[in-house]
Amino acid sequence: MSYASNPPTSGPWPVQRRSVRVPVNVRVRLRYERERMQQQCHCRSYDISETGMGLMSPYELELGQMVELEFALPESLEPLKLRAVICSKVGFRLGCEFISPTDRQKIEIARYGNAQRTKSE
């Protein structure tokens, strides 16, 4: 179930997910285009999975909007930079689906997720 086969919604997120999300609270640099101008803002994440990230953002972003996210996971050696699409929006909460993450990025996110799940057991 990808963004293409599951269009954006302004309602609550689906109950079933393709991958397990774990809590993460990191600062995210968000870049996007508005009126043919590159814009940038900072927001906070609240969860992450291998396929996407949840963000809290007071900025006006549209469903279907393409963005670039840059953030460093705790204990990560270098920041991750991923392209994503805004696929859900409820108030200040945004759901972002990663677009073509590299194998290295997937491994880094999975490593973080596994460490978080191990801590909570």
17 pLDDT band, cuts 50/70/90, is low
Query: What are the pLDDT digits (tens) for 61-105?
Result: 999 999 999 999 998 888 999 999 999 999 999 999 999 999 999
| Domain architecture of the chain: domains with CATH | 22-120 (2.40.10.220)
SS (H, E, C) the chain: CCCCCCCCECCCCCCCCCCCCEECCCEEEEEEEECCEEEEEEEEEEEECCCEEEEECCCCCCCCCEEEEEECCCCCCCCEEEEEEEEEEECCEEEEEEECCCHHHHHHHHHHHHHHHHHHC
**pLDDT at position 4, please?**
39
**pLDDT at position 13, please?**
46
What mean pLDDT is predicted for residues 7-25?
64
0.85 surpassed by pTM = no
